[in-house]
Structure 1
Amino acid sequence: MIRVLAAGDRFIRASLLRTELDRVLPGVLEVPEIEFAWPDAPFGKVAEVDEAAGSEGELIEALHGATAIVTQLAPMTAGVMDALPELRFIAVSRGGPTNVNIEAARERGIQVANVPGRNGVATAEMTIGLALALMRRIPSAHESMMSRTWRGDLYRSDAVGREISGSVIGLLGAGAVGSHVAHSFAAMGAQVLVFDPYLPDSALGQGVERVDTVDEVFTRSDLVSVHARLTPETAHMVNADTLGRMKPGALLVNAARGGLVDYDAVAASLQGGHLGGAAFDVYPEEPVDFDHALFRLAHEGKDVVVTPHIAGASQETAVRAARGVAEEVGRFLRGEPAKNPLVEGPRTAIL
């Protein structure tokens, strides 16, 4: 039988990986399991790779004799690859495989595939949830109930929230996540503005308007949601200058990448009363510094909603990820091209 290691963690369990492998390739695989402690224990740098869990030694032992591995976080370093001459295929159940030394795999003829977009729906829905929580001031209402206080004053004209229907919502980027957010907000009755120079016109639906400049998003929107890729050009694209061009009382949501936003500038704008509120799931450094002004403002009752980088975490995300890597293993063993190749190689059927 062909040996394929299911290297799971406490989000994408090894048992789930095994189940999907058995579904795709019933009766032909030997599937040993190893499971890392993430997210109960942090991931980090292992040798030359990052966002990895476990050690090279335990992985080498578990991978002995394996043709392939399916994993989210296993540290696929050059040292691991050198110790495992039988290894021919790595399937990584995430979009950004920073735990894999891609160049080392290429040099050693090890093929690599991944599962981009696995958490797109989850992240889009979380973005919408953050926007709703912010616009309708749900966290402060919940907190008052938990403190056994019935806040009838939340019906005051100066305390009530806003509706998405009729609002102008601007999106900075409209890839897999942003486009889902755009169509969802449009279906709820919002006027949606999108700045994305790479977006084809065919991707625009009813109620979604393409704008030509970032400035239009900031100046016209009641709420701005960030969905761009983090590059040197987009770092801190939300900053003191762009925040200052937003409407007084406008809102900001970021569930994309922490580096896209200058959080010091956000705190200053909230403190000064120009920015009406903000909701974040991602931060420039994680875990966060809870002494940052942003969290102080949240404690003081400002409209700030914060969550610990969980936008992509859903039961369905885990299943899509496990299914995606299992199907890539099936393609590799049948000599078919990978759906999402990172390192390609000869197509030789093994089954």
Structure 2
Amino acid sequence: MTTRILCVGDGAVGVDLMSELKPLESLCAEVTIIQDTDSTTLPEYMDRLALVERDGLGAVSPCRGLLDHCGQAHVIVVDGTPVNREVIDNSPNLKLVAVLRGGVENADLDALKERGIPLVHAPQRSADAVADYTVGMMIAENKNIARSHHFIIEGRWRKNYINQDYVHNMRTRTVGIIGFGQIGSRVAKRLSGFDSRIIAYDPFMDAEAIRSAGAEAVSLEELLEQSDFVTLHLRTSQATHHIIDADALAQMKPTAYLINTARSPLVDEEALAEALREHRIGGAAIDVFDAEPLPADHPYLSLDNVTLTPHIAGTCADTWHASVEIGLEELSRYLRGEPFQNRRI
């Protein structure tokens, strides 16, 4: 029997990249590739995905091409294109959904569970990109790299900054990693080259697994009190919402830096802005925000101790290629009747 695989290209993983799944046809599959016409550029992709992540699947319309072609598909492969209940209900032959990204907010998990349809994803696709970026953000904020560039563009030659007394080398610093999964563990690996002391808090990971990866397992309170850098690598959930709030910020050193390249809801933005304004912590480097693009009146924009970037930590050409490589391996395993490596449900 031929397995019909329907792939939907978008503004990130386009049709050309999706064509790298064509080798699956050697495993008795028929691969069809279509384009999501609502997501043909990276900005369109990012905007639609941000809407889904913030407001749910109902915030965007389903892909017309997917609805037109899903009826015969055994497998649907997407990156950011929504696989909502309407798509699932119109896919009577559906046996598997593959989402080629770490998050699966663009798939209706409840509808899939009702049908007993598994979903695989690519939790590690952007892990290297985000890990690299996180360490870069630590150094940029501590060493005033972005601020110095900004001042030179303005024609100002400035060498002294408000954190002058606590600009340090990474070798002498303690870095606290909150969330020690695919990204957090990679951050630790990179920091080992700087000889930083690395501590980690992850309520879902065994302490021995953290130690074997080169970090010291500690409580959240210990991490906040001891760290010179606190970096977040958790997914958003009810348990992690505002894990960094006013109380958590009050536990941090007055010279510590907060780094968030993960998800905005992990941090109480109002509390962080106040802590930075009053210099109760040393600084912050932020790549994710409650409202994106950042509003012109956002309090972060008036601060002199924060580095801001427009949600690009995982944006890397290698990320999109990794997505397809992971998807190819998972789908090959499926077609060979082997267990999945990255099954979400």
TM-score by length of 2: 0.86
Amino acid at match of 1:65: Q
Aligned pair partner of 1:84 in 77, 83, 91 = 91
CA drift of 1:210 comes to 2.3
Instruction: Find the counterpart in structure 2 of residue 238 from structure 1.
Output: 244
Amino acid at match of 2:316: S
Residues 245/103 of structure 1: CA separation in 2 closer, same or farther (3 Å cut): closer
Residues 210/111 of structure 1: CA separation in 2 closer, same or farther (3 Å cut): closer
Deviations 1:204-256 (A, max 9, x none): 25863222x22222222222112234332332222222222222222111112
Larger Rg: 1
Amino acid at match of 2:200: V
Instruction: Find the counterpart in structure 2 of residue 348 from structure 1.
Output: none
Deviations 1:325-345 (A, max 9, x none): 2232223333333322345xx
* Counterpart Cα distance in 2 of 1:267 and 1:284: 13
Residues 207/191 of structure 1: CA separation in 2 closer, same or farther (3 Å cut): farther
- Give unpaired runs (5+ residues) of structure 1: 344-351
Residues 283-298 of structure 1 aligned to structure 2 (within 5 Å) = 283-297=289-303
Q: SS of the counterpart of 1:86? A: coil
Residues 236/84 of structure 1: CA separation in 2 closer, same or farther (3 Å cut): closer
CA drift of 1:166 comes to 0.6
TM-score by length of 1: 0.84
* Counterpart Cα distance in 1 of 2:97 and 2:295: 35
Instruction: Find the counterpart in structure 1 of residue 65 from structure 2.
Output: 58
1:269 and 2:275 matched:
yes
Residues 61/191 of structure 1: CA separation in 2 closer, same or farther (3 Å cut): same
Residues 219/323 of structure 1: CA separation in 2 closer, same or farther (3 Å cut): same
CA drift of 1:53 comes to 6.3
* Counterpart Cα distance in 2 of 1:84 and 1:128: 43
Aligned pair partner of 1:131 in 120, 135, 138 = 138
Amino acid at match of 2:80: L
Instruction: Find the counterpart in structure 1 of residue 254 from structure 2.
Output: 248
Residues 49/332 of structure 1: CA separation in 2 closer, same or farther (3 Å cut): farther
* Counterpart Cα distance in 1 of 2:244 and 2:31: 50
Higher alpha-carbon deviation: 51-60 or 4-13: 51-60
Q: SS of the counterpart of 2:332? A: helix
Amino acid at match of 2:152: M
Aligned pair partner of 1:319 in 315, 318, 321 = 321
Instruction: Find the counterpart in structure 2 of residue 7 from structure 1.
Output: 8
Deviations 1:258-283 (A, max 9, x none): 11111111111111122221101112
Residues 6/141 of structure 1: CA separation in 2 closer, same or farther (3 Å cut): same
Amino acid at match of 1:183: K
Residues 107/214 of structure 1: CA separation in 2 closer, same or farther (3 Å cut): closer
1:22 and 2:25 matched:
no
Amino acid at match of 1:308: P
Q: SS of the counterpart of 1:32? A: strand
Q: SS of the counterpart of 2:291? A: coil
Instruction: Find the counterpart in structure 1 of residue 123 from structure 2.
Output: 116
| Residues 49, 75 of structure 1: 8 Å contact kept | no
- Give unpaired runs (5+ residues) of structure 2: none
| Residues 129, 313 of structure 2: 8 Å contact kept | yes
1:220 and 2:220 matched:
no
Residues 105/173 of structure 1: CA separation in 2 closer, same or farther (3 Å cut): closer
Identity across the alignment (%): 31
The structure in which a higher percent of residues are helix is 2
Amino acid at match of 2:102: G
* Counterpart Cα distance in 1 of 2:64 and 2:151: 51
CA drift of 1:56 comes to 4.4
Instruction: Find the counterpart in structure 1 of residue 334 from structure 2.
Output: 332
Residues 240/31 of structure 1: CA separation in 2 closer, same or farther (3 Å cut): same
| Residues 98, 120 of structure 2: 8 Å contact kept | yes
Paired residue total? 335
Amino acid at match of 1:23: P
Q: SS of the counterpart of 1:273? A: coil
Amino acid at match of 1:178: G
Residues 137-156 of structure 1 aligned to structure 2 (within 5 Å) = 137-151=144-158, 153-154=159-160
Residues 226/102 of structure 1: CA separation in 2 closer, same or farther (3 Å cut): closer
